[in-house]
Structure 1
Amino acid sequence: MSNSEPVKVIPPADDPIALVCDSPHSGTYYPQDFDFAIELQQLRQCEDTLIEQLWDTAPLVGATLVHATFPRSYIDANRAEDDIDLAMLDGEWNGPVAPSDRCLRLGNGLVFSKTPTLEPIYNRKLHAREIAQRIESCWRPYRRALTDALAGASTRQGGWWHLNLHSMPSNAYARLGLPEKPLADIVLGNLHGASCDAAFADVVGEAFRRHGYTVALNDPYAGQDLVRSLGRPALGQHSLQVEINRGLYLNEKTREPKRQFPELRKRIHLVLQDIASYIREETIQAERKAQLKVKDTA
């Protein structure tokens, strides 16, 4: 796949609502300057392959869809800008540095050094200017596009709802070094209540259950930097991470869709319709409350 734009923004097709869906990890355009040292098929294990296509009817219910075209292994738009392992760099880094545990332990920081199976991605150190260029050309444009989409979609009271879209390997617990147990079809992450209120998480969870899927909350994924930095439930800004079990729709080795892919996409559209109905009702209620406050102070 070739694409010169690091991020795509698909606006609502009709009757916009205050919902933005974003997929930061589904990009499949591997830039020429990546210069990785493993087989591409191994590197593709890092992708949330086809997630933007599973959710591509979001604009039909009035939502905005934002998705990256660059791969997360090149630079991860869902990691903090300072999540950098200095050991992988050649040259002095002048920016802030605060590597996460996953960055140091698994090689999954702002710029990946390892695949999910802990295979080294490079046979060299990266120059500091390479990292800086990736931040400037991909990470910042993605963050700006998402922030702008949320601002554009917000209600008159400044509130909005955000779905941060991902896929998870069917052996997620093993990948994370956790005790094995059955993995849910859908894992919702709200940082244990910090990034969105319980009502929104419940609505999304019940929508998936109603359409035939098992759902877990914050187990084993509670959310990463995007929901952490964007979710402000006290201000009516709700950010929820949604992980879909890849075993439902993807051949995890070849990255090709399974025959179940179209059915899952149809059911996700039904889930989106349920979520859109909730957001429309919540928006109406918020506007009514705001009008009453104006009358009370008049």
Structure 2
Amino acid sequence: MTAVLQSVPTPFPPFTLRLPEADPVPLVCDSPHSGVLYPDDFGHVVPFDQLRGAEDTDVHVLWQALPSVGATLLAADFPRAYIDPNRDIDDIDPGMLAEPWPTPLHPSEKTRLGIGLIWRDAGKSGKWPIYARKLPVAEVQRRIATYHAPYHAAMREQIQAAHARFGAVWHLNLHSMPADSYEGLQIQSDHPLADFVLGDRDGSTASPEFTALVAEALRRRGFSVALNDPFKGVALIARLGRPAERRHSLQVEIHRGLYMNETTRERSAGFAALQNALTAVSREIADYVKDQVT
């Protein structure tokens, strides 16, 4: 694995885009939280190892076979704790700002938990304040313009191009989840976290058939799968998923215990086996998508 640096000169390209390497299918996938280039203007005070806990480390690597089956794969290179591309730009805690935001803000439950557009807290259950300062509005606006907005523009371009060409598009929003996800979300649960959680915002962003196909592909390979528990999906799939227009968007969360040491972020002995399983799952999904448009 490449060493992760605490300070990378800014600005740098906000994402890596891999286009189909086989006959293209209208399957567009993104990993918005696996970025590990930490900008030198971050200005955080939290210990770096605690800050890294926000990463979906290596998710884009686990799914690296997607372009080989005809899909598009977009991965953020910036870290989500710096600015989170899976949040709307008005999902900001006004208490973090040095002066008033120029337009109305709409903080969500994520902001209340300290993980809105600009993260307030890091570490297990958000016990580590990220900043010892208020953030100037101009600084937050610069993060939006340099990283958040280009990421969304790239996603929009790929989604629109696929839909224009094929008359339909399927989107996978790829993530990983910590073992203590229920605790972090302040949710009481009487059952353990599943290996995979599929989120379709309670059936509103993807057809039931597509969600069921992905779930079954995972279950056949021995994984436990939950639907919308505890993750339903946030801004990206809410914006993209419109099944009535043949625009299907599904969030996929992987239990980090399957492939990494959550303390060191190092890949575990199970990494290669999981990557191989997801290669087979990617092929099944691509075959399904191809069948829907031919």
TM-score by length of 2: 0.94
Aligned residue among 111, 116, 119 for 1:112: 119
Partners of 1:194 and 1:235 in 2: CA distance? 12
Aligned counterpart, 1:14: 22
1:150 is aligned with what amino acid?
A: I
Give the SS at the match of 2:129: coil
Aligned residue among 86, 95, 99 for 1:91: 99
Shift in CA distance, 93/241, structure 1 to aligned 2, threshold 3 Å = same
Partners of 2:164 and 2:143 in 1: CA distance? 33
Aligned pairs for 1:139-150 (under 5 A) are 139-150=148-159
Partners of 1:37 and 1:10 in 2: CA distance? 34
Partners of 2:31 and 2:15 in 1: CA distance? 10
1:165 is aligned with what amino acid?
A: L
Aligned counterpart, 1:288: none
Aligned counterpart, 2:32: 24
Aligned counterpart, 2:227: 217
Gaps of at least 5 residues in structure 2 are none
Partners of 2:85 and 2:247 in 1: CA distance? 20
Aligned residue among 119, 123, 133 for 1:124: 133
Structure 1 residue 155: deviation in Å?
5.6
Which deviates further from its counterpart, 112-121 or 196-205? 112-121
Matching of residue 77 in structure 1 with residue 78 in structure 2: no
* 1:243-284 residue CA offsets vs partner (Å, 9 max, x unmatched): 000000010000011011011000000000110111111111
Aligned counterpart, 1:137: 146
Structure 1 residue 158: deviation in Å?
2.9
Structure 1 residue 222: deviation in Å?
0.6
Matching of residue 266 in structure 1 with residue 276 in structure 2: yes
Aligned pairs for 1:1-298 (under 5 A) are 1=4, 4-104=12-112, 106-117=113-124, 118=126, 119-154=128-163, 156=165, 158-180=167-189, 181-284=191-294
2:26 touches 2:166 (CA, 8 Å); kept in 1? no
* 1:215-251 residue CA offsets vs partner (Å, 9 max, x unmatched): 0100010110000010000000000000000000010
2:206 touches 2:242 (CA, 8 Å); kept in 1? yes
* 1:190-236 residue CA offsets vs partner (Å, 9 max, x unmatched): 00011111000001000001111110100010110000010000000
Partners of 1:100 and 1:142 in 2: CA distance? 21
TM-score by length of 1: 0.93
1:155 touches 1:283 (CA, 8 Å); kept in 2? no
2:50 touches 2:123 (CA, 8 Å); kept in 1? no
Partners of 1:73 and 1:95 in 2: CA distance? 23
Count of equivalent residues = 283
Gaps of at least 5 residues in structure 1 are 285-298
Structure 1 residue 95: deviation in Å?
2.9
Structure 1 residue 177: deviation in Å?
1.5
1:116 touches 1:175 (CA, 8 Å); kept in 2? no
Give the SS at the match of 1:206: helix
Shift in CA distance, 157/59, structure 1 to aligned 2, threshold 3 Å = closer
Partners of 2:178 and 2:82 in 1: CA distance? 19
1:249 touches 1:261 (CA, 8 Å); kept in 2? yes
Partners of 1:116 and 1:177 in 2: CA distance? 14
Give the SS at the match of 1:267: helix
